[in-house]
Amino acid sequence: MSILFYHIFLWLYRTGIYLLARWNRKARLWLDGRKALFSTMRSALREQEGQKEKYPFIWMHCASLGEFEQGRPVLEEIRSRYPGYRIVLSFFSPSGYEVRKKYEGVDHVFYLPLDSRKNARQFIDLIQPKLVLWVKYDYWYYFLVELKKRNIPTLLVSGVFRTDQPFFKWYGRLHRYMLECFTHLFVQTEHSKKLLGTLGLSSHVSVSGDTRFDRVIGIAEQSEPLPLIEIFCGAHPVIVAGSTWEEDEEELDHYANTHPDMRFIIAPHEIGEDRLREAERLFRHSIRYSQWEKNAGRADTGPGKTRNPNTLIIDNIGLLSRLYKYATITYVGGGFGDDGVHNVLEAAVYGKPVVFGPVIEKYIEAVELADCGGGLVIDSALEAESVFDRLLANPHDYKLTCEASRDYVYSKKGATGKITGYISMKKLLEK
């Protein structure tokens, strides 16, 4: 891709956002969040002015919420090791910014402006970071070029590379140059390192693994009880289905509706009212978590309500990673959609069978989990029901699947230490 085509892409992106904003909430948030962005940043950063000691900044950029969770273990370790630095966190997507704009683990959270030479210079001028951590992807040419020009150490965290990406195509020179702007690239797999080697980048590439393993292990080991969930589950077998779309729920609803003796917890990927009503339509014996909470863990016995619900529909954000702990079997959504399966590690870390749909090829952790026996790929509702029945009826098979799941996650821990160890060894944060 040439600079000309890159500018055409940026223009089309901006124009598309403006057009979508009329009826799309995320597009409106994307635009509204960038209004007067630089004056907002100046105001937020002004508190440093006049201080005798001005703390230098570290900047972490994440495309969205998933990438933040991936970079979070590194961010928190740096926060602990280097208290003399302030941290700026940026997001490109509203789905990341809106959820984490008040995150207390950093000093400032901003949107990243759309890429341009002027925006990149202005943004970096305001922060003047001593170190930049770029999580997984979301490559923007002018930002990366400006960081390289200023010799600001820039590390890629948990990168993943595939042959179908522009870097490895005849038209990918501009993308390849973006990779050359990084001081060091930490990638998840040996395959990614080999691919980068074909571009002549081997000298500053390391296989660190995926920081999400450290993140989910930390969550699981620090998990606090959820009393209302314990009441709902009781002594019943439990299926927890997380990050579900309608396609996933259509694979599960018949099983839930015909097994009143079991408990099902459904956490939709999106919790708009339309999606929640659709889930309620599919799962006939259901109650929303907000109502369960309001009733202090009792069924809603009002007119038209389910007297003995066996399905709990989660209508808030933030519980999912702790819900899997209560599962007998877990199901992770997304595997029947074009974008593919969501985060299987949040479920696997608890040592539970993880069931998901077939679209997994872009997600190495889902492929590896299936290969080792901890993950089970299904293609239909009938196959899902067969898998559930088999696991529930065969304690030995169930135990082996649980062990494979947990062992897989714990065998991959340590990526955070490799990245922070490099920062320490290279003295990137020495004052």
pLDDT digits (tens, 9 = 90+) for 307-318: 689 999 999 988
Q: Is 151 left (phi over 0), alpha (psi -120 to 50) or beta?
A: left
Band (295; pLDDT cuts 50, 70, 90): confident
Tens of pLDDT, residue by residue over 217-233, are 999 999 899 999 999 99
**E strand intervals along 301-396:** 311-313, 329-332, 354-356, 375-377
Quick one: 359 exposed, middle or buried, by C-beta within 10 A (0-12, 13-18, 19+)? middle
| pLDDT for the residue numbered 41 | 95
The mean pLDDT of 176-183, rounded to a whole number, is 97
Domain ranges of the chain: 3-47+54-209+414-425, 225-410
- Report which of 80, 215, 73, 175 is spatially closest to residue 133, judged by C-alpha positions: 73
297, 260 in Cβ contact below 8 A? no
Spatial CB neighbours of 229, under 8 Å, sequence gap ≥ 6: 265, 312, 323, 326
| pLDDT for the residue numbered 237 | 97
Tens of pLDDT, residue by residue over 319-349, are 999 999 999 999 999 999 999 999 999 999 9
225-410 to CATH, choices 3.20.10.10, 3.40.50.300, 3.40.50.970, 3.40.50.2000:
3.40.50.2000
| pLDDT for the residue numbered 2 | 81
* Mean of per-residue pLDDT scores for the chain: 94
What is the C-alpha to C-alpha distance for residues 407 and 401, in angstroms, rounded to an integer?
10
What is the C-alpha to C-alpha distance for residues 431 and 75, in angstroms, rounded to an integer?
18
| pLDDT for the residue numbered 52 | 47
- Report which of 258, 226, 113, 389 is spatially closest to residue 376, judged by C-alpha positions: 389
Say if 3-47+54-209+414-425 and 225-410 have the same CATH topology: yes
Band (303; pLDDT cuts 50, 70, 90): low
| pLDDT for the residue numbered 398 | 98
CATH of domain 3-47+54-209+414-425: 3.40.50.11720
Tens of pLDDT, residue by residue over 383-400, are 999 999 999 999 999 999
Q: To the nearest whole percent, how much of the chain has pLDDT over 90? A: 89
The mean pLDDT of 1-7, rounded to a whole number, is 87
Quick one: 375 exposed, middle or buried, by C-beta within 10 A (0-12, 13-18, 19+)? buried
Tens of pLDDT, residue by residue over 134-154, are 999 999 999 999 999 999 999
pTM: 0.85
| pLDDT for the residue numbered 311 | 97
What is the C-alpha to C-alpha distance for residues 314 and 319, in angstroms, rounded to an integer?
8
